A and B are shown apart, each in its own frame.
Chain A
């Protein structure tokens, strides 16, 4: 067990930034802390680093409580969102800083920094100043600097936030490779669910200072614990239904009700891929018109509108879209292959209720 948070809370004055978070990160894991901005994920990262002190709760590293261990003694590598390179020092001196502070012999520093420059594809840039580097290079210097003193944990705050989309993709793949090679326990903060899904082994989802769910990318996508997680990870269609004559209904849509009383409301959610469409108007039970087509590359995102005015989002492979001869304005029939009950009851909007009823799983077919 490398890092453990036990009921950790952090308040800034009267503002509660992190509330009662418990979490364990094992040795060698690559974990993403994911959530909207202001969700408390950066505060959690900074508490692990020792840059913030928890208001209550325990922080353990390898089983030892480190709440009162100062940041200098924690042996963590921290990469700031802004990179925070020392602008008056060369790339070499930046990377060597942690080693010099530890009074490492100069020959050893030289070897270690050269090794890192090579590993990070920064050969020949050792004498440059940070402002003479590209954004991607700066970030690699920041990570190399954090790794130079061989920290037990690498913490990254929004590592890909400051670079443009194309470089971001390269950096993601590079981080995964780096983690595979060095195998240092890595925790990074992101607000981008795609990034979290792609890079990490495990995702920790935060919202408003609370931990919503921990799981593998697949778990949080397929079995979201509550509506917040379901909405945050990927696109979700949400419908609010009412039980009428033994079925859950909204306008022309109806779903089997699991023995719920008449008049009760019920929220369900389903992913765009669960909506199947066909040009053949007899093939599926419901009708809709394609209102908008969003081109995403191999896939297209469609916005469907039913005769009663419900808007549903779906995805379709481009080839299939063309094969069926579909276009904007086409009439189609559709069905919802699988969905998930998010909540039942009157106050169905509250996330607590959603959690209670999360036992209900995807219902196959209709």
Chain B
């Protein structure tokens, strides 16, 4: 810059331009205060309260509450359901993302919309769909009855309902990731002699692993926490078709406050772990993407 320009106007311009993009301090503080206050009152306080209620009568009461046979079987059922649903939706999600990201076909946009359907439908409706399909008065009910297969008010119904609501998580996570990466690397692997499976295993999977893990974690959290859809198909048979969220509700309605909150604390811990992992994975993914895109040579040693 030429030395002859007087300082005054330059400084004034600077202040002005800063004002242009930054809110005055007071507004900033008020806005941040509102957000922090809201998060505190509506999120943190209830969470703390869950643990406070769970431990209201001490550690031994807490442990005892969790050792109730019905609560234990609810925990086991919840684990079973997610152990079935998460792998299935993992496979489905990878297949769907692969199909959408790597191939061009008719009805692709519709397919993407349909994958999202469980997100936009109320879980209660999802549950009712299965009752209508498989229930005694339902579509396939009589046929299933004749074969002595019970789906509604039994574990298969719970698994189906959970599958439905957790359907989009992995696919939603992978589709944009795979679309952004394109298929050049896969094609390069093919030209180097790799089969489709080798390409998937050595090239595609490693490049989406963090996104995949992220989707799986969210899928798992939802599978374990789902209430609405499961509630409709479960029948609430204690010790048989009661998942953890259903158990908590029942305990709560029976005024077993410590037992209810003890069970709830398990889900709260799951939520906290999920949140922690999610944050960690997001950071990993972000740095990896930033590194992948940066053109500068070796400025980051990782």
Residues of A within 8 Å of B206, CB to CB, are 86, 88-89
Judge if A77 is at the interface, Cβ distance under 8 Å. Answer: yes
Residues of A within 8 Å of B301, CB to CB, are 132
Residues of A within 8 Å of B192, CB to CB, are 97-98, 101, 145-146, 149
Judge if B300 is at the interface, Cβ distance under 8 Å. Answer: yes
B104 to chain A, nearest CB (A): 10
A149 close to B193 (CB less than 8 A): yes
B298 close to A84 (CB less than 8 A): no
Closest to B183 in A: A84
CA A167 to CA B282, docked complex, whole Å? 35
A4 to chain B, nearest CB (A): 20
CA A133 to CA B291, docked complex, whole Å? 11
With contact pairs A82-B184, A85-B185, A132-B298 given, residues A101 and B191 touching in the complex (Cβ less than 8 Å):
no
Cβ contacts B183-224/A at 8 Å (1 or 0 each): 011011111111100100011001100000000000000000
Judge if B295 is at the interface, Cβ distance under 8 Å. Answer: yes
B283 to chain A, nearest CB (A): 17
A137 close to B194 (CB less than 8 A): no
Task: Choose among A71, A80, A88, A145 the residue with the greatest number of B CB atoms under 10 Å from its CB.
Answer: A88
Residues of A within 8 Å of B295, CB to CB, are 134-135
With contact pairs A101-B198, A131-B292 given, residues A86 and B189 touching in the complex (Cβ less than 8 Å):
yes
A133 to chain B, nearest CB (A): 6
Closest to A136 in B: B297
A78 close to B191 (CB less than 8 A): yes
With contact pairs A80-B187, A101-B193 given, residues A133 and B202 touching in the complex (Cβ less than 8 Å):
no
One of B184, B191, B202, B297 near A132 (C-beta < 8 A)? B297
Question: Which residues of chain B from 166 to 188 have any CB-CB distance to chain A below 8 Å in the complex?
Answer: 182, 184-185, 187-188
CA A74 to CA B191, docked complex, whole Å? 8
B189 close to A134 (CB less than 8 A): no
B189 to chain A, nearest CB (A): 7
CA A71 to CA B298, docked complex, whole Å? 34
One of B193, B292, B298, B302 near A87 (C-beta < 8 A)? B292
Judge if A76 is at the interface, Cβ distance under 8 Å. Answer: yes
Judge if A72 is at the interface, Cβ distance under 8 Å. Answer: yes
A77 close to B207 (CB less than 8 A): no
With contact pairs A51-B190, A131-B292 given, residues A80 and B195 touching in the complex (Cβ less than 8 Å):
no
A interface, how many residues as a size bin?
20 to 34
Residues of B within 8 Å of A89, CB to CB, are 206
Cβ contacts B276-302/A at 8 Å (1 or 0 each): 000000000000000111110110111
One of B185, B198, B298 near A86 (C-beta < 8 A)? B185
Closest to B294 in A: A131
CA A97 to CA B207, docked complex, whole Å? 15
A44 to chain B, nearest CB (A): 16
Closest to B208 in A: A88
Question: Which residues of chain B from 77 to 120 have any CB-CB distance to chain A below 8 Å in the complex?
Answer: none
Judge if A354 is at the interface, Cβ distance under 8 Å. Answer: no
Judge if A102 is at the interface, Cβ distance under 8 Å. Answer: yes
Judge if A49 is at the interface, Cβ distance under 8 Å. Answer: yes
A266 to chain B, nearest CB (A): 48
B207 close to A51 (CB less than 8 A): no
One of B184, B194, B202, B300 near A84 (C-beta < 8 A)? B184
Question: Which residues of chain A from 44 to 94 have any CB-CB distance to chain B below 8 Å in the complex?
Answer: 49-51, 71-74, 76-78, 80, 82, 84-89
Closest to B207 in A: A88
Judge if A128 is at the interface, Cβ distance under 8 Å. Answer: yes
B191 close to A128 (CB less than 8 A): no
B281 to chain A, nearest CB (A): 16
With contact pairs A72-B195, A87-B207, A87-B292 given, residues A78 and B297 touching in the complex (Cβ less than 8 Å):
no
Not counting A51-B187, A80-B188, a sample of 16 additional A-B residue pairs whose C-beta atoms are within 8 angstroms of each other reads A76-B191, A77-B191, A78-B187, A78-B188, A84-B184, A85-B185, A86-B185, A86-B188, A87-B185, A89-B206, A97-B192, A131-B292, A132-B301, A133-B297, A137-B297, A146-B191
Q: What are 12 residue pairs bridging A and B, where the CB atoms are less than 8 Å apart in the complex?
A: A50-B191, A51-B191, A84-B188, A87-B292, A97-B189, A101-B193, A102-B193, A132-B297, A132-B300, A134-B295, A137-B297, A146-B191
